[in-house]
Amino acid sequence: MRRDVALHRLVLAGVLIGSCLLFAARVVCASDLLVSPQDVPGPPDKVFVTPLDDASLRVQFLPPVRTKAEGSNGAPVLGYKVEVARRVNHIQTFTVSASGPVLAGSYKLTFENARGIGVTACIPWNATEVMFETALEELVNVDSVSVSRSAYGAAQFGYIYKVPL
């Protein structure tokens, strides 16, 4: 009696935060067959990633926790494939400054990328991180972003905004 076996792979996503590389793991069923959640084992438990050298990592993990006691979970996991994508965030820096004290005013930003050109609504000269972030995210050619703002005076009579893209 022949039994079809669904193949699974482990997708490992890495995010670099400061000098710490964080990973998330999940099991993906490669079969085109319809499967229920009970048929697919859970992700591996306790994923440990340690650097071996500048170009390689060691990935270790415990077996999935969501398995049946008798050992069959619909489709056995024959192995995992580890995929790591490298992404370097580019940080765009916007400096808002003036030659003298500013008490009022606003400006617009033009953002151009492969998806097109977008112009923000008016941004107050002293916009908070949230206001600046909202103005950027309202553009059709910008996905979600995270914005940080310096203290007043980091730029002469103004602020410095940093946006990782």
Q: Where are the domains of the chain?
A: 1-88, 91-164
Per residue in 22-37, pLDDT (tens digit) is: 444 455 544 444 555 5
Q: In terms of Cα–Cα distance, which of 11, 15, 33 is closest to 80?
A: 11
Is residue 19 pLDDT above 50, yes or no?
no
> What is the number of other CB atoms lying within 10 angstroms of the CB of residue 48?
10
pLDDT tens digits, residue range 77-122?
A: 666 667 665 655 667 777 777 777 877 888 888 877 777 788 889 9
**Could you give the angle at the alpha carbon of 103 between the alpha carbons of 108 and 136, nearest 5°?**
25
Instruction: Show the tokens assigned to 49.
Output: 């990633």
pTM over 0.85: no
